């Protein structure tokens, strides 16, 4: 599992994260964010970018560990999974807190568009 498959998956995740800013900019256009919605949009987009950057930093640390062949013990692996789950939860909570006021300002059309989005701890998917 740690062979080529894991490296390919990590590469794909890095590629997704590197385009986070572009995806957020296109999302702003797609949702037709108005001038009045800009302050709430900025907080939401900042939360998405911060989450993506945090995930990328975590993956970079994992990449370095794999490159140097550092085998993790089972307890270390579980600690890492617990840490990642906590980071995911914190990212989702920050994104949700920033989304709530923005979503409340949306028109019915914007809500319909937003409801079709997939957003997780790595941002817009």
Q: How far apart are CA 78 and CA 49, in angstroms?
A: 27
Query: Is the per-residue pLDDT at 123 higher than 80?
Result: no
Reading the block at residue 94, the tokens are 């920050």
Inter-helix orientation angle 20-30/4-18, to 10°:
50
Which residues does 8 contact at the CB level (< 8 Å), separation at least 6?
Answer: none
pLDDT on residue 109: 96
Report the C-alpha dihedral over residues 101, 121, 20, 29, rounded to 10 degrees. -30
Q: What pLDDT, in 10s, does the model give residues 13-56?
A: 455 555 778 888 899 999 999 999 999 999 999 999 988 888 77
Q: What pLDDT, in 10s, does the model give residues 74-95?
A: 888 888 889 888 988 999 999 9
Query: Is the per-residue pLDDT at 8 higher than 60?
Result: no
Q: How far apart are CA 47 and CA 72, in angstroms?
A: 31
Our count of domains for the chain comes to 1
Q: Containing domain of residue 105, as a range? A: 4-124
């Amino acid at each position: 599992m740690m062979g080529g498959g894991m490296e390919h998956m990590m590469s794909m995740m890095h590629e997704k994260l590197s385009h986070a800013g572009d995806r957020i900019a296109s999302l702003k256009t797609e949702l037709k964010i108005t001038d009045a919605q800009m302050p709430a949009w900025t907080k939401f987009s900042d939360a998405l970018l911060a989450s993506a950057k945090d995930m990328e930093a975590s993956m970079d640390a994992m990449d370095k560990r794999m490159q140097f062949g550092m085998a993790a013990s089972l307890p270390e692996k579980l600690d890492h999974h617990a840490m990642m789950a906590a980071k995911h939860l914190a990212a989702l909570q920050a994104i949700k807190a920033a989304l709530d006021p923005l979503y409340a300002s949306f028109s019915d059309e914007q809500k319909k568009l937003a409801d079709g989005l997939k957003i997780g701890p790595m941002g817009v998917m």
